[in-house]
């Protein structure tokens, strides 16, 4: 309550505005995230994305698919090298090849909010520990930098993206109706978030799932991430 007896938000006088997230890489056991470089990552990424012969990974994105390596790399140079979105290549430790990319965007230090988006997972990357670890590293960097709200948004009809958000521990916040027009069609946008008070338990869930002992000799998980994030383990 304020002095007028009105309910107000909790005090943030000790909170400090975070800096812009750095471009420096992030390393894990399965992958490393590297600041996107067209010359270094462009060929690997085009080849990885080309394994999606039907173009399914591009359906809910405002760009793609690309009909040539040149067009893809031109798009990267024009769209992916700025400060917001801030892109990273997802490089598999085992092969040293870039097999996906992702970014921070709508970076708002003044309010402590940051979004993860442009999540481009090639078929090689999808449903692998590499993909999960990449999302963990992005989330950890955001909260370690001082952000208090981490967002995930997607087309409300994109069932796979919505399931991924829930598996990763995001909380569904609602649908923004007729929010965007892309590829000459409407998009209702589903909003999800993780806030800083939730991060410590969620971090434990990720680290328990990513631990060596959670995988058998064939690389299969023993405990699912969704069971850990639901339980707050």
**Order of strands, edge to edge, in the sheet holding 98-108?**
26-27, 31-35, 86-92, 98-108, 113-121, 149-155, 185-195, 171-182
Q: Cβ distance 209 to 223 under 8 Å?
A: yes
- Domain positions in the chain are 26-231
Q: pLDDT for 149-158, tens place per residue?
A: 999 999 999 9
pLDDT of residue 232: 65
231 band by pLDDT with thresholds 50, 70 and 90: confident
Does 34 score more than 60 pLDDT? yes
Q: Cβ distance 172 to 182 under 8 Å?
A: no
Q: pLDDT for 156-202, tens place per residue?
A: 999 999 999 999 999 999 999 999 999 999 999 999 999 999 999 99
Q: Cβ distance 151 to 193 under 8 Å?
A: yes
CA distance 104 to 89: 12
How, if at all, do strands 113-121 and 149-155 pair?
A: parallel
Q: Mean pLDDT lowest for which of 131-145, 150-164, 213-227?
A: 213-227
CATH architecture of the domain with range 26-231: 3-Layer(aba) Sandwich (3.40)
230 band by pLDDT with thresholds 50, 70 and 90: confident
Could you identify the residue written with the tokens 């405002």?
A: 62
CA distance 218 to 207: 20
Q: pLDDT for 75-89, tens place per residue?
A: 999 999 999 999 999
Does 233 score more than 90 pLDDT? no
119 band by pLDDT with thresholds 50, 70 and 90: very high
67 band by pLDDT with thresholds 50, 70 and 90: very high
3-state SS class at 130: helix
Average pLDDT, the chain: 96
146 band by pLDDT with thresholds 50, 70 and 90: very high
pLDDT of residue 201: 96
pLDDT of residue 39: 97
Instruction: Report pTM.
Output: 0.96
């Amino acid at each position: 309550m304020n002095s007028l007896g009105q309910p107000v938000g909790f005090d943030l006088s000790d909170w400090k505005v975070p800096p812009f997230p750095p471009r420096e890489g992030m390393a894990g056991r399965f992958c490393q995230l590297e600041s996107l470089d067209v010359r270094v990552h462009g060929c690997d990424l085009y080849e990885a994305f080309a394994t999606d012969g039907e173009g399914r990974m591009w359906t809910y994105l405002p760009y793609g698919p690309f009909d040539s390596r040149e067009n893809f790399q031109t798009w990267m140079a024009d769209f992916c090298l700025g400060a917001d979105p801030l892109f990273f290549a997802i490089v598999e430790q085992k092969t040293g090849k870039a097999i996906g990319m992702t970014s921070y965007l709508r970076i708002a230090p003044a309010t402590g909010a940051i979004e993860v988006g442009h999540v481009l997972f090639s078929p090689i990357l999808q449903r692998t520990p590499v993909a999960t670890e990449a999302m963990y590293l992005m989330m950890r960097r955001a909260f370690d930098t001082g952000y208090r709200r981490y967002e995930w948004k997607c087309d409300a009809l994109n069932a796979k993206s919505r399931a991924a958000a829930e598996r990763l521990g995001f909380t569904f916040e609602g649908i923004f109706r007729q929010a965007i027009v892309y590829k000459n069609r409407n998009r209702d946008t589903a909003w999800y978030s993780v806030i800083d008070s939730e991060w410590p338990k969620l971090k434990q869930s990720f680290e328990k799932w990513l631990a060596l002992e959670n995988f058998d000799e064939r690389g299969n998980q023993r405990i699912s991430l969704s069971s850990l994030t639901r339980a707050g383990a």
